[in-house]
Structure 1
């Protein structure tokens, strides 16, 4: 039996790569039902000041096709507690590169207060959408 019933994770998932696959697989291995929030283009623009290479609807379609994913939702803001209010997950999965980040320290306290666990999963070293962008420019 898996330790969590409903899990939740989010991401831009631009230029899908093995790091994305790893977090989805690891998250699904720990929960019965995995909900994945895919950041909208508008949201990405608000905090990265650039659009993803792959448009939202295409990124969403890619994530929906992954066998580890049970449901895909639009991530229209970065408020993880409002996501909990909407989806009532009992675990939120995050890459361990976010551990100790002020945003996630606050989120962890709020989610722990409603009985939800923040689970930090190993970050896949050596691959990211940013690195892929650089390689494509060469």
Structure 2
């Protein structure tokens, strides 16, 4: 595969787990400089209709501290072309769980028109923030305290 100069990826990165690390590690292996957009709490509420467990500033600090990440910044909009207009990346990375979705088919076409590649990296099976939240909830009592 080609090695790109500037790569970009985004995510919520709530309850940071091995799947998140795998995406960042694989993305960085394909580019010299990796920019990561971390979704703000407001944006997550807007498009996922839920609030992250870990506050935005903490998630941004966690992602910023990962050795594969050259720059982490707030993602305040789902508009990837706006991000490209501001950041001028050569490639966008995303987890393969979104490949061939209506939303990402549109994004791939928009980026094709401006010469940006979109690479879908393998999703790590068996782990997700949603899975971790559900597992944690199973251990919570009715008062919301750990059993």
TM-score grouping bracket, smaller chain normalisation: over 0.9
Q: Distance in 2 between matches of 1:129 and 1:105?
A: 24
Q: Which residue of 2 aligns with 1:58?
A: 58
Instruction: Give every structure 1 segment of 4 or more consecutive aligned residues whose post-TM-superposition deviation is greater than 6 Å.
Output: none
CA positional deviation for 1:112:
1.1
Q: Which 5+ residue runs of structure 2 have no aligned equivalent?
A: 139-147
- Asked if 1:117 corresponds to 2:117, the answer is yes
CA positional deviation for 1:73:
1.1
CA positional deviation for 1:47:
1.3
Q: Distance in 1 between matches of 2:61 and 2:55?
A: 10
* Structure number with larger C-alpha Rg: 2
Q: Which residue of 1 aligns with 2:70?
A: 70
- Asked if 1:106 corresponds to 2:102, the answer is no
Q: Distance in 1 between matches of 2:66 and 2:123?
A: 19
Q: Distance in 2 between matches of 1:59 and 1:97?
A: 21
Q: Which residue of 2 aligns with 1:25?
A: 25
Q: Distance in 2 between matches of 1:46 and 1:73?
A: 18
Q: Distance in 2 between matches of 1:137 and 1:21?
A: 23
Structure 1, 121-130 or 2-11: larger mean CA deviation: 2-11
Q: Which 5+ residue runs of structure 1 have no aligned equivalent?
A: none
* 3-state SS of 2:77 partner: coil
CA positional deviation for 1:78:
0.5
* 3-state SS of 1:23 partner: helix
TM-score, length basis structure 1? 0.97
Q: Which residue of 1 aligns with 2:4?
A: 4
Q: Distance in 2 between matches of 1:117 and 1:98?
A: 15
Q: Distance in 1 between matches of 2:50 and 2:99?
A: 25
